[in-house]
Each structure stands twice: as structure tokens, then as C-alpha cells.
């Protein structure tokens, strides 16, 4: 169920019936020359909606703010001041909580959020909230699903606008994919920081992929995209069900804040 498509009465019923809201966290950034700027949030929101059809939940409207400073040098990228970004996410979570949801799943659809979102999740211990926040890993696939994913893809290097992301985009919104604009060559990591001891800096991603393209999308197809998308949808639907059933996180949060009040 999509939040924006429900009437007020339908929304109230959905909150009571599901108890879970999903926010797909994407961004607006360059995806080589052949994919739209909104690739992450478009695909993330689509996968969240399909998963919520299998395991009922309410999906927050398309959301395209996140950590994407490494693409600020490319046209079309949308970035917000770091402190504003933190406040925006927290205000959104609080708005979801005020509307009655006790559990919020942040489905990460953008690799650049992998440092930001865990920090945001840790920030939930700053003060007690009437809801619990759940952040699954960027890749939920395990076991046979992971094996099927690897068997479906023909290329080895992935990461951005690659075979798998382009294939999923072809399955989700083919009219937005410009296969005729694909770079002629694959984009492999330049490894320009390899002479330095293992180090993280803000330009780490840029050092490897200065054109914001990682992999080789020339073998991407809609058929592959449907297979890959279904694997993601199935895994997320199972995760939604697990979150619904979970009583451990709310219990531990209550225990934590009881102790915090006595400290």
C-alpha cells in the first residue's frame, strides 16, 4: 500500500492492520549516461511497493534525499546540508510515528547511504521514541537467492549503473533507460588510492569511479531484471514479516531507556 494513494480512512485501517511503514531511501544522482538520475529511489520504491503487496505494509512516498556528496560534482545531483539531512530523516520518522506506526523499516536503495543510515539508526538511542527503527543490510540476499543472482549476472564487477542495476531499471521503467547511450567500455576501479594504507576518505568512491559508472551494463536485459527484482522483493517481503513478528527490539529499547533514566 502506498501512503499517498490511500484515503484518510483507508490509511487509518492500514496502520492498524500492518503496524509497519517502509521508507525506501534513494537519492538523485548521475548513473552513467544511460540511466535516469532517480534510479535509486525509483527502483527502491518499486521494490518496496511490490514487497508490501506480498506482505502488507504501508510504503512512504518516493524519497530522494540521502548521502550523495560524492556525486555533487555532476549535474542533477541533489544534496542537502549534513545537519539538515539528519533532521529531515528524523522528522520523517517522527511523522510516521505520530501517524500510529510502531515499526519503521528503512530500505536502503543507495550504496552511498551505507555509513549514514547506520549512524542515523544509532541516533535513535538519543531519546526514546514511540516506534522502533529497523535497517536491513543493503543486500538481503542469502543462500539460494544469492546463488541465483550470481548465476543470472554475466559480469563480475558491479556497483553503479552496472548490469544488475540497469537490468532492474529495464524491468521497472524501461522508457527511462537509454541503452543507446551506454559507454563503449566497462568501468573498472581505477584504484588511485591503492598506494595509501587502507583509508576511508570522502573521495574514496570518486578515486575509483570518476565518471560515476561501475561495471559493465552492456549485457543488461529486462528479463534478467525481472529475475533480480523478484529476488529482492521476496527477500524484503520476508523481512517485513520478521519485523512484524519481532518483540525483541521494542523490549530491549524499553529496557535501555529505563536504565538511562536511572543513570
First to last CA, the chain: 42
What value does the mean pLDDT take over residues 192-216? 94
d(CA 140, CA 105): 13
140, 119, 123, 133: which is closest to 20 by C-alpha?
Answer: 133
Could you tell me the CA-to-CA distances from 182 to 115, 122, 174, 177, 192 in Å, in that order? 29, 39, 14, 10, 24
Q: Which of 219, 231, 230, 213 is nearest to 167 (CA)?
A: 219
Tell me the whole-structure pTM to 2 decimals. Answer: 0.95
Query: Exposure of 67 by Cβ count < 10 A (0-12 exposed, 13-18 middle, 19+ buried)?
Result: buried
Taking 90 as the threshold, does the pLDDT of residue 263 lie above it? no
pLDDT in tens, 37-51: 999 999 999 999 999
CA distance 158 to 166: 11
Name the pLDDT band for 261 (thresholds 50, 70, 90): confident
* Average of per-residue pLDDT across 221-249: 98
Q: For all residues of the chain together, what is the average pLDDT?
A: 96
d(CA 43, CA 263): 44
pLDDT of residue 262: 74
Question: Would the pLDDT of 189 be above 80?
Answer: yes
Helix and strand element counts for the chain (H, E):
9, 4
How many CA atoms lie less than 13 Å away from 22 in the CB half-sphere? 33
pLDDT > 90 fraction of the chain, expressed in percent and rounded: 97
Give the pLDDT mean for 168-193.
96
Pairwise CA distance, residues 208 & 215, whole Å: 11
Nearest to 63 by CA among 102, 111, 24, 103: 24
Could you tell me which CATH number the domain at 3-245 has? Answer: 3.40.50.10310
Percent of the chain surpassing pLDDT 70:
100
The domain locations on the chain are 3-245
Question: What tens digit of pLDDT does each residue of 128-145 get?
Answer: 999 999 999 988 999 999
Amino acid at each position: 500500500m502506498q501512503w499517498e494513494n490511500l484515503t484518510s480512512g483507508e490509511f487509518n485501517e492500514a496502520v492498524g492492520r500492518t503496524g509497519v511503514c517502509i521508507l525506501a531511501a534513494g537519492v538523485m544522482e548521475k548513473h552513467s549516461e544511460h540511466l535516469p538520475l532517480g534510479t535509486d529511489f525509483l527502483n527502491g520504491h518499486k521494490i518496496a511497493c511490490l514487497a508490501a503487496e506480498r506482505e502488507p505494509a504501508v510504503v512512504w512516498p518516493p524519497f530522494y534525499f540521502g548521502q550523495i556528496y560524492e556525486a555533487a560534482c555532476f549535474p542533477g545531483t541533489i544534496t542537502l546540508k549534513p545537519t539538515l539531512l539528519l533532521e529531515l530523516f528524523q522528522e520523517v520518522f517522527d511523522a510516521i510515528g505520530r501517524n500510529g506506526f510502531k515499526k519503521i523499516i528503512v530500505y536502503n536503495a543507495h550504496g552511498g547511504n551505507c555509513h549514514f543510515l547506520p549512524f542515523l539508526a544509532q541516533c535513535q538511542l538519543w531519546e526514546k521514541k514511540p516506534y522502533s527503527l529497523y535497517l536491513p543490510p543493503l543486500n538481503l540476499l542469502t543462500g539460494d537467492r544469492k546463488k541465483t543472482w550470481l548465476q543470472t549476472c554475466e559480469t563480475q564487477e558491479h556497483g553503479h549503473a552496472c548490469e544488475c542495476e540497469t537490468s532492474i531499471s529495464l524491468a521497472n521503467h524501461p522508457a527511462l533507460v537509454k541503452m543507446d547511450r551506454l559507454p563503449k567500455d566497462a568501468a573498472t576501479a581505477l584504484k588511485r588510492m591503492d598506494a595509501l594504507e587502507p583509508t576511508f576518505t570522502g573521495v574514496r568512491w570518486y578515486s575509483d569511479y570518476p565518471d560515476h559508472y561501475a561495471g559493465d551494463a552492456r549485457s543488461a536485459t529486462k528479463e534478467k531484471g525481472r529475475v533480480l527484482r523478484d529476488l529482492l522483493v521476496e527477500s524484503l517481503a520476508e523481512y517485513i514479516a520478521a519485523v512484524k513478528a519481532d518483540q525483541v527490539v521494542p523490549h530491549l529499547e524499553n529496557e535501555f531507556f529505563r536504565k538511562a533514566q536511572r543513570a
